[in-house]
Amino acid sequence: MVLGGVIYLHDISQDRFSGTAKRNLKMFSHLCGDAALDKVVLVTSKWTRLPVENGTKREKELREIHWKSMIEKHSEVRSFRDSHQSAWDVVNFILERTSEHKKRRIKEEALQIQTELAVDHKFIPQTEAGKELRYSLKELLQLQKQMATLEAEMAKGGDAEAEAKLRETEAKMEKIVGQIQSLRLSFVQRIMGIFRWRGD
């Protein structure tokens, strides 16, 4: 199935374009692929949380720096102003653009993730988005390890609160490791794992 449009939401009230925002955008780009970027609508949200002039300044920065390459490939920018009408304006824009594409008989492009899964028969860990997710998880794991080291130092002094934080961090790390390992597993390995689990 070819999608008519994809909406990417960005919180305009964030005062800087953080590392998380950059990773999210990169992941999103891998999901869509360059050929389908003309289906993307980049929507800013949470406008009521800051003065309009601040939001306008931030949106300008997004257009000229962070979203520039996507806009050059025909992604559009719209704003959601916390109202039903504003939401419908975004949806109607996608519907109108999809209708125009059909009239002009422009070749419809599937998203990159769709092509990788349905045509190339890749498993999610083999897709570009899957590879990016695995990289993000590794990076997050490294941060968690650093935190654990610091908290271990604090715990040496017998601080009960520090020890509790250390246990919490270790539990998070185990969860992240599990997510990374699951991304590495092939489909066959996962099926065999299910049968082994049922056999136990």
Residue 160 scores a pLDDT above 60: yes
Of residues 193, 200, 145, the one with CA closest to residue 173 = 145
**Phi and psi angles of residue 47, each rounded to the nearest 5 degrees, phi first:** -65, -25
Residue 121 scores a pLDDT above 90: no
Residue 148 scores a pLDDT above 80: no
Residue 193 scores a pLDDT above 60: no
Q: pLDDT-based confidence at 51, cuts 50/70/90? A: very high
Residue 53 has a pLDDT of: 93
- Regarding predicted confidence, which is higher, 74 or 137? 74
Of residues 15, 12, 6, the one with CA closest to residue 45 = 12
Range with the poorest average pLDDT among 84-88, 128-132, 152-156, 193-197 = 193-197
